[in-house]
Each structure stands twice: as structure tokens, then as C-alpha cells.
Amino acid sequence: RGRGPIWLSGVTCTGHEASLRDCPAHTWGNNTCTHGQDAGVICAGDEPEAVQVQLVGGPHRCAGRVEVFHAGRWGTVCDDTWDVADAQVVCRQVRCGHALSAPGAAQFGRGSGVIWLDETNCTGEEPPLGACPARSWGNNDCYHGEDAGAVCSGDEPEAVQVQLVGGPHRCAG
């Protein structure tokens, strides 16, 4: 059972929506549910890893150093082959519109810890950054002076974040 507010009820997705917020539902926060009726889901887990992505160190939430969460740790992305198509995937994933630029050379400051991705080669159409071709996770020839960034248009509403909790793995809960 969850705790706190119950935000959604009467959700009727078709399965073709890009986000849970695109599904028809009762007015946000308006419901007669209890936590004994909390919904759950079990996913097959066979799609490319939808890694969490955030932009850090920029002037607003839609510009900054690209950081990804993988294997329980936040890390950065190397700017080798980083371009606007790669940034486009990030901007869409963080719900910040379209990419305006893809700065490298740690323009938004140097990250720390692991450099997760190197030589990304997105087309710009991938849904998560984890679906883009790249070297294997953590395999790089970079240093944090090469951290990649993204500057997005910021013209989409802030994303509703959803997480699965209490299940046996990240794809159930």
C-alpha cells in the first residue's frame, strides 16, 4: 500500500499513449479510492532500459549537464560524437521540448563519479537515451572535462513522474 495523496483514478489508457498523463482519467486528485486499491503493474522488461535522465548545473531545469541513473548510481555522458540528435532524445525524455544545442567540454561544469555513456549515436527518435547506440555502459575513454550537456526549448509541461515500488524488481510494483 502506498501513502499520501492518491493522484489518479478512473484511468482508461488504450496502451498507445506516450505517457500516463496522456490517458483519460478523473480530475487530478479527485477520487474516492483508498490505498487498498492502489494499482500495480508487472512489465516484461524486454524493452531498452529507460534510464532516468536529468540536466544538472544549468540556468534552469531544461538546460545542463546530462546525467543518467544506471546500476543504482548517477553518472555523466561523454561528449565524443554527442550532437543535437542525442540532445533531442534527452530533451524529450525530460519533457523540455526540443533540443536547441548539445554543448560539450563540460560547459555546465564537470560531473563526478562514473562516466556511463560514450560515443552515443542517437537518431533523435529514440524514446529513452538508453535505446541509442553507444559503447557499453561505463566503457569510455573520457574524463569529466568532456561531459555532455543539452539546452532544450523548455516548451512542454513538467513531466509527471511515475515509479514502481514494492515489487520484486524494477519492472514490477
- Looking at residue 91, which CATH number applies to its domain? 3.10.250.10
- Grouping H, G, I as helix, E, B as strand and the rest as coil, residue 70 is strand
Percent of the chain, pLDDT > 70?
88
CA torsion 126→78→54→161, rounded to 10°?
Answer: 40
Q: Please indicate, yes or no, whether residues 84 and 144 belong to a single structural domain of this protein.
A: yes
Output the pLDDT for position 140.
83
Element (H, E) at 75: strand 73-77
Q: Please give the residue range of the domain that contains residue 32.
A: 1-41
pLDDT at 151 over 90: yes
pLDDT at 154 over 70: yes
Output the pLDDT for position 159.
46
Average pLDDT, the chain: 82
Element (H, E) at 67: strand 63-70
Q: Please indicate, yes or no, whether residues 36 and 112 belong to a single structural domain of this protein.
A: no
pLDDT at 148 over 80: yes
Q: Please indicate, yes or no, whether residues 110 and 80 belong to a single structural domain of this protein.
A: yes
**Residue 170 to residue 158: CA distance in whole angstroms:** 23
Give the total number of structural domains in the chain.
Answer: 2
Element (H, E) at 90: helix 84-93
Output the pLDDT for position 84.
92
pLDDT at 96 over 80: yes
Residue at 163: amino acid letter: Q
Output the pLDDT for position 43.
66
Q: Is residue 86 part of a domain?
A: yes
Q: Is residue 37 part of a domain?
A: yes
Q: Which of the two residues, 62 and 136, has the higher pLDDT score?
A: 62
Q: Please indicate, yes or no, whether residues 27 and 85 belong to a single structural domain of this protein.
A: no
What pLDDT, in 10s, does the model give residues 5-64? 888 888 888 877 777 777 888 888 778 888 888 888 776 554 445 678 889 999 988 999
